[in-house]
């Protein structure tokens, strides 16, 4: 038998094994390629295979679905021509780094869609190396993140812009303000200015026309303020860029301007004038012609400011000054305003201290009947017993108390004190009811806790509800007639009486007057004081008296200087009272001490000297029956 040489057999086996290895490797490669194509063709992400020159070797079908290009169009278009010019260098640098290090890099860039738009892609590159360990191919996985990035940008935009007007919001404004303040700290010659603007009477307008019209008004005013700015001014820019002027909406009807690099008062005033002129033109909203104005307060940064908020507070102070002086006003902050602001700040702090340390006092002003002339009630008057300034009248601190939110608490304290005093007087008077009139502030009248607070005071003092009379100023009653009618109805059910104060001085409607059903009308002192010199005032008072009789209301005349000379034309005017100013020649408000030894001093109405009355538990009954000597 013929035998092959051993060498031939060995060589044959080697050749066969190599062919078998090549066959198996090729087969494995085909399986991998098939698996690769199955994965890429069904993947949502776009997968590309490119060589080191950037030429496309393979593109998954997702490219056509995401970018709109067919495989043929992709093959004919160079890769870098589709990349946005701003991102080409970034992509080239990432490719170079991957080839050099063998490690791919994640990046975000824009790729052009077939329709000409741009899609934002998030790319991850992986390297394929040859047997020598050199990078010969890159596998790039691209994910379309356009919608996600758009949503993130929208969230970032909304965080820094007002949802209604799309103007920068308070947060963006304060960020820009902080940067201006920091720059002013580095450069003493750098200054900036702030303008605060509020729409005059916006709350009343919003209430009368509805919130939908109010929102449209705010949008239109925002657009007008933007258009009023000179060409080149910045209305809204990203935080990373700087601008000359920023317009923002703080909320409600509050707008603010930030003028960077501005130290000239004239420039500030010119911006204010342009803004006011732009808003002054009438607006047509839902077939309604609306006219509105804005008040503006402005301030320029100073080297004395230690915080960015200091200039903003100065502008707020100037705005309050402008609003106090009337509509369509523009005020620039100055040293006098600063002094007033410091005084106001101290006053607000002292008010909180006064409430905590029980420094408030209640004086009682008698109300006299004309015929027979005798005391029929008292009006509770608030005073502040300041430890340094003595007794302070309410006109010096009521506005500050309203602004700080303390007025409702002070009102409630006055009601409780007056109820306790009524209980003491009635006990000393053998149980005969004594009536006290108590003024309500705007903030307390709008408080949801008003009625419950009154109930608690009446219950704790154990007095008849009808002995308490609550006064509402004409201006408060006219602000929201529906709310006024609802609160007065609750007071009637509670049993307390109500009075409309300062009647004839404002614009409450007759329909509202009928609907609210007051028990007492208090004629404003401006009409009473001018009756002798002005025939028209007499006619107006006569008309009020006729109206009161028809409405079955009592009438109180305020500001009667000399009762014997005042003779109203109708006999059913039941009461009158004096004010408490320094011009009093006839009567001062009464203090209340609980000392039985104190005697009541009766006044002589012809005496021009001021008198001090002291009411005690034992003399309250005497005062209630006191007759004014003729």
Tell me, what's the pLDDT at 454? 93
Tell me, what's the pLDDT at 375? 74
| Cβ atoms of residues 332 and 205 within 8 Å | no
CA–CA gap between residue 21 and residue 480 (Å, rounded): 95
**Which segments of 430-507 are extended strands (E)?**
436-439, 468-473, 497-503
User: How do residues 346-385 score in pLDDT, each as one tens digit?
Assistant: 888 888 899 889 999 999 888 777 666 667 788 899 999 9
Tell me, what's the pLDDT at 573? 42
Q: Picking from 42-46, 278-282, 541-545, 569-573, which range would have the lowest pLDDT averaged per residue? A: 569-573
User: How do residues 442-462 score in pLDDT, each as one tens digit?
Assistant: 889 988 899 999 999 999 999
The model's confidence at residue 169, banded by pLDDT at 50, 70 and 90, is very high
Length of the chain: 630
- Percentage above 90 pLDDT, the chain: 18
Angstrom distances, CA of residue 612 to CA of 57, 363, 389: 106, 11, 20
User: How do residues 498-532 score in pLDDT, each as one tens digit?
Assistant: 998 888 776 677 777 778 888 888 888 888 777 77
Query: Mean pLDDT over residues 320-330, rounded?
Result: 84
User: Tokens at residue 352, please?
Assistant: 């909180």
User: How do residues 546-564 score in pLDDT, each as one tens digit?
Assistant: 888 888 888 887 766 555 4
Residue 9 has a CB neighbour count (10 Å cut-off) of 11
Single pTM value for the model: 0.53
User: 56: part of which helix (H) or strand (E)?
Assistant: strand 56-59
User: How do residues 18-30 score in pLDDT, each as one tens digit?
Assistant: 556 655 555 555 5
CA–CA gap between residue 384 and residue 407 (Å, rounded): 13
* Residue 579, pLDDT above cutoff 60: no
Tell me, what's the pLDDT at 540? 83
Residue ranges covered by each domain of the chain: 35-150, 161-346, 359-624
User: Tokens at residue 301, please?
Assistant: 């940064």
User: How do residues 582-605 score in pLDDT, each as one tens digit?
Assistant: 223 344 555 544 332 232 333 444
| The domain defined by 161-346 carries CATH number 3.30.70.270 | yes
* Residue 202, pLDDT above cutoff 90: no
Q: Work out the mean pLDDT of the chain and round it to a whole number.
A: 77
What three-state secondary structure class fits 212?
Answer: helix
> What sign does the CA torsion over 13, 16, 22, 23 have?
negative
What is the pairing mode between strands 497-503 and 468-473? parallel
Tell me, what's the pLDDT at 237? 39
Tell me, what's the pLDDT at 574? 42
User: How do residues 239-277 score in pLDDT, each as one tens digit?
Assistant: 333 447 889 999 889 999 999 988 888 888 888 888 998
Query: Mean pLDDT over residues 398-418, rounded?
Result: 89
Tell me, what's the pLDDT at 453? 93
Check residue 395 and report its DSSP letter. G
CATH among 3.90.1170.50, 3.20.20.450, 1.10.1270.20, 3.60.21.10 for 359-624: 3.20.20.450
3-state helix, strand, coil in the chain (%, to 5): 45, 20, 30
Tell me, what's the pLDDT at 3? 56
Query: Mean pLDDT over residues 81-101, rounded?
Result: 80
User: What topology is assigned to 35-150 in CATH?
Assistant: Beta-Lactamase (3.30.450)
């Amino acid at each position: 038998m013929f035998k092959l040489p051993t060498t031939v057999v060995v060589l044959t086996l080697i050749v066969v094994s190599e062919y078998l290895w090549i066959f198996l490797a090729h087969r494995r490669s085909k399986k991998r390629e098939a698996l690769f194509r199955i994965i890429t063709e069904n993947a949502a992400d776009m997968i590309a295979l490119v060589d080191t020159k950037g030429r496309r070797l393979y593109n998954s079908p997702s490219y056509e679905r995401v970018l709109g290009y067919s495989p043929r169009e992709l093959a004919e278009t160079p890769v870098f021509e589709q990349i946005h010019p701003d991102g080409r260098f970034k992509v080239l640098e990432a490719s170079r780094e991957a080839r050099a290090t063998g490690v791919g890099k994640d990046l975000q860039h824009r790729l052009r869609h077939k329709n000409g738009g741009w899609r934002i892609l998030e790319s991850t590159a992986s390297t394929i190396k040859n047997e020598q360990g050199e990078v010969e191919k890159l596998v790039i996985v691209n994910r379309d993140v356009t919608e996600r990035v758009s949503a993130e940008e929208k969230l970032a935009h909304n965080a820094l812009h007002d949802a209604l007007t799309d103007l920068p919001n308070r947060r963006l404004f304060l960020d820009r303000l902080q940067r201006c303040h920091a720059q002013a700290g580095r450069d003493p010659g750098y200054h900036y200015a702030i303008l605060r603007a509020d729409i005059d009477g916006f709350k009343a307008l919003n209430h009368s026309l509805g919130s939908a019209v109010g929102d449209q008004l705010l949008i239109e005013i925002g657009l007008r303020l933007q258009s009023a700015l000179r060409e080149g001014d910045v209305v809204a820019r990203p935080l990373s860029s700087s601008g000359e002027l920023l317009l923002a909406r703080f909320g409600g009807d509050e707008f603010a301007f930030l003028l960077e690099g501005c130290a000239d008062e004239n420039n500030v005033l010119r911006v204010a004038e342009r803004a006011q002129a732009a808003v002054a033109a009438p607006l047509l909203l839902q077939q309604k012609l609306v006219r509105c104005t804005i008040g503006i307060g402005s301030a320029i940064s100073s080297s004395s400011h230690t915080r960015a908020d200091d200039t903003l507070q100065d502008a707020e102070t100037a705005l309050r000054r402008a609003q106090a002086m009337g509509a369509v006003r523009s005020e620039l902050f100055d040293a006098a305003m600063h002094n007033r602001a410091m005084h106001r700040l101290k006053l607000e702090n002292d008010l909180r201290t006064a409430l905590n340390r029980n420094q408030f006092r209640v004086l009682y002003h008698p109300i006299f009947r004309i015929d027979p002339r005798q005391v029929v009630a008292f009006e509770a008057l608030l005073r502040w017993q300041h430890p340094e300034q003595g007794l302070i009248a309410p006109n010096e601190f009521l506005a500050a108390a309203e602004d700080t939110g303390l007025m409702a608490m002070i009102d409630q304290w006055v009601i409780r004190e007056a109820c306790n005093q009524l209980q003491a007087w009635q006990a000393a008077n053998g149980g005969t009811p004594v009536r006290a009139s108590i003024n309500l502030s705007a903030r307390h009248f709008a408080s949801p806790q008003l009625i419950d607070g009154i109930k608690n005071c009446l219950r704790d003092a154990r007095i008849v509800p009808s002995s308490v009379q609550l006064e509402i100023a004409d201006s408060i009653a006219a602000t929201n007639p529906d709310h006024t009618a609802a609160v007065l109805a609750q007071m009637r059910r509670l049993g307390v009486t109500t009075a409309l104060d300062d009647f004839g001085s404002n614009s409450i409607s007759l329909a509202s007057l009928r609907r609210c059903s007051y028990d007492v009308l208090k004629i404003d002192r401006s009409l009473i004081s001018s009756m002798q010199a002005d025939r028209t005032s007499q006619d107006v008072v006569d008309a009020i008296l006729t109206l009161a009789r028809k409405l079955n209301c009592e009438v109180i005349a305020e500001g009667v200087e000399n009762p014997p000379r005042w003779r109203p034309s109708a006999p059913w005017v039941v009461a009158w009272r004096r004010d408490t100013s320094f011009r009093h020649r006839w009567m001062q408000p009464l203090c209340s001490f609980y000392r039985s030894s104190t005697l009541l001093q009766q006044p002589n109405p012809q005496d021009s000297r001021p008198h001090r009355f002291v009411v005690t538990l034992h003399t309250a009954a005497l005062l209630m029956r006191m007759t004014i000597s003729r």
